[in-house]
Structure 1
Amino acid sequence: MNTTVGTKLKNLRKQKGWSQELVADKLHLSQSAYARIESGESHSWANHLEAICNVYEVTPQELLKCDNVIINSQQKGGNSNNAFIINQLSEKLIEQYETRLKEKEELITELKAKLKL
């Protein structure tokens, strides 16, 4: 669990373009303590869960859920962060797809109404 949370925190930090030192300051931790959380060496993230969620603007559920998708577990030298990124992209694609489906249904309803005239 420490590694999963650490990887998510590292990805969130990099997405925002922040340094470990900046996040550590926001959490009132030393940079080295925060680095140990990101690397999975420390479980102290649990003591700071609320503050971490506030800093990154995520819910505890989003931070703790295990949602990594393994693409090819046989691949050598792969980046474990890829699964996290692909899952985020998948969620965005699903959201866009659902929006398009809603637009399609509205258009069909509108065209049916015109045909009845």
Structure 2
Amino acid sequence: MNTISKNIKHLRQKKAWSQREVARQLNISIPAFAKIENGITDVNVKRLEQIANLFEVSVLVLMAENGENPQSKHSIHVKMLNVKLAKKEEELIELQKKVIELYEEIEAKNKTNATSDSNIK
């Protein structure tokens, strides 16, 4: 039994609903729901969202391991990604500065060459 199926079973039992009641509300057969709850059938995203809505929880709660707070795990992950993003933005700014410097060097050389060419004539 996988994490998602354990969480679905726990939420169903917490509401004191039978598999028949949940299957009816999801508009699927009882055996189909039993396979989801027992981890025999993988759940697609659409069905996962439907189940989350039925139990009035987020999809993250259905996917959370052993009572962990999925919001805090998600929050930590987002913070880490923001730090990485900030570093990449700094790198991008430095690269933009180098491009501008190179462009200015090329422009200066072009002006120098143009001046040299006009002096030769």
TM-score bin (small chain): 0.5 to 0.7
SS of alignment partner, residue 48 of structure 1: helix
Aligned-pair identity (%): 36
CA RMSD of aligned residues (A): 1.9
Which residue of structure 1 aligns with residue 64 of structure 2?
A: 65
Residue 9 (structure 1) aligned with residue 39 (structure 2): no
Contact 1:49 1:60 survives alignment (8 Å): yes
**Structure 1 portions without partners, runs of 5+:** 69-83, 89-117
Alignment partners' CA distance in 2, 1:23 and 1:42: 16
Contact 1:3 1:38 survives alignment (8 Å): no
| Residues 43 and 37 (structure 1), Cα distance of their counterparts in 2 relative to 1, 3 Å cut | same
Read off the aligned partner of 2:40 and give its amino acid letter.
E
Alignment partners' CA distance in 2, 1:46 and 1:3: 16
Read off the aligned partner of 1:54 and give its amino acid letter.
N
Map residues 1-117 of structure 1 onto 2, 5 A cutoff.
3-66=2-65, 68=66, 84=67
CA offset at residue 45 of structure 1? 4.9
Report how many aligned residue pairs link the two structures. 69
Higher-Rg structure is: 2
CA offset at residue 46 of structure 1? 3.5
Alignment partners' CA distance in 2, 1:35 and 1:21: 9
Alignment partners' CA distance in 2, 1:45 and 1:23: 17
- Calculate the TM-score normalised by the size of structure 1: 0.53
- Calculate the TM-score normalised by the size of structure 2: 0.52
Read off the aligned partner of 2:36 and give its amino acid letter.
I
SS of alignment partner, residue 34 of structure 2: helix
**Structure 2 portions without partners, runs of 5+:** 70-121
| Residues 45 and 7 (structure 1), Cα distance of their counterparts in 2 relative to 1, 3 Å cut | farther
